[in-house]
Amino acid sequence: MPLSHYTGLTGLSDDLPVKAGLLLVNLGTPEAPTARALRPYLAEFLGDPRVIEYPRWLWRLILHGVILRIRPPRSAHAYQRIWTAQGSPLRVGSEALAAALQETLSRRLPGPVKVALAMRYGQPSVAAQIERLLRDGVRRLLVLPLYPQYSATSTGSVLDAVADSFKTLRWPPELRVVNDYHDDPGHIDALARNIEDWWRVHGRGDRLLLSFHGIPERYTKAGDPYFLQCQKTARLLRERLGLDPAQLVVSFQSRVGREPWLQPYTDATVRELAAQGVKRLDVACPGFAVDCLETLEEIAMQNRDFFVEAGGQELRYIPALNDSQAQVDSLAELALRHMQGWPERGA
């Protein structure tokens, strides 16, 4: 039996250059679009107390007794609609973003830098990627959750995973964290340019809808800043695009359960806009750094159908920033600001 619960590295040398590390963290994805692959993924995701704030004993009964029996086949069908030959769009897009950031930061930082991608749920895990970075010589680590707006359900959960990983390390690295970047000027400009570029090719619709992921209202009342940060992102983006308040609408998607979530709801909003006579509706999702199930299936497919059934002609989804040069540049600038002074010794 080992005498210690702590993981350490051997063969260390004081002569090695200090490497900086950037750990990108996204939500996660199942390994395959099947009910069998969805069950462990959903169990990990929905079992996170940051995500579902119910009494643990009660939620475990609901989760394992009801939800994990019903939801995996439904979710698998949704994933099958967007799955590609390369795999999960979220994983493929996140990996491409990480690779582009690696190339950009390697050119711009004065010393060695290593970029890694982790998933909060599923693989590769936060703990595994931190260990990999340490084995690559990283002693200064910046964690960048790919959630522009902070919520305890997203960024807060990433910080929990990082803390749990650090608890097991004999010699944790120096740590910095990007808490949020909802009002970062470079990020707002990247969002605006992405929309403007799309409009130049496809023309502009009658209205622009910004759909953010929702959280229960009670989380906001308990002090979660997510709603306020979403509203600020929307205001700054509207101002940057030069739109009147009536031309841009904000809504919240992906609610589950019966309790009130942040409103107005996206599905109700697209139906209401269609009933008001809006024929062409453009939808962007500024809370998602990379396209995923919630954008490609829920918005571009489900809500498109809701809009047309309610009398609209066309709902047009504007893709996320993904690995576009605009996003790579804005996140690189964000990382460089947080990495000021890294690395110095051995550069």
Which helix (H) or strand (E) covers residue 143, if one does?
strand 138-145
Distance, in Å, from the CA atom of 106 to the CA atom of 101, rounded to the nearest integer, reads 8
Distance, in Å, from the CA atom of 176 to the CA atom of 311, rounded to the nearest integer, reads 49
Distance, in Å, from the CA atom of 234 to the CA atom of 220, rounded to the nearest integer, reads 18
**Residue 3: C-alpha distances to residues 6, 10, 166 (Å):** 9, 16, 18
- Tally the C-alpha atoms within 13 A of residue 2's C-alpha that lie toward its C-beta: 5
How is residue 18 annotated by DSSP? Answer: P
Contacts of 176 (CB under 8 A, 6+ apart): 140, 141, 142, 143, 338, 339
Distance, in Å, from the CA atom of 176 to the CA atom of 20, rounded to the nearest integer, reads 11
Which helix (H) or strand (E) covers residue 142, if one does?
strand 138-145
Q: Is 294 annotated as a binding residue?
A: yes
**Residue 50: C-alpha distances to residues 20, 168, 197 (Å):** 29, 21, 37
Contacts of 83 (CB under 8 A, 6+ apart): 33, 89
Are 171 and 9 within 8 A, CB to CB?
yes
At residue 234, the 3 state secondary structure works out as helix
Distance, in Å, from the CA atom of 151 to the CA atom of 14, rounded to the nearest integer, reads 39
At residue 172, the 3 state secondary structure works out as coil
Q: Is 213 annotated as a binding residue?
A: yes
Feature table: binding site for Fe(2+): 213, 294
Residue numbers belonging to the annotated binding site: 213, 294
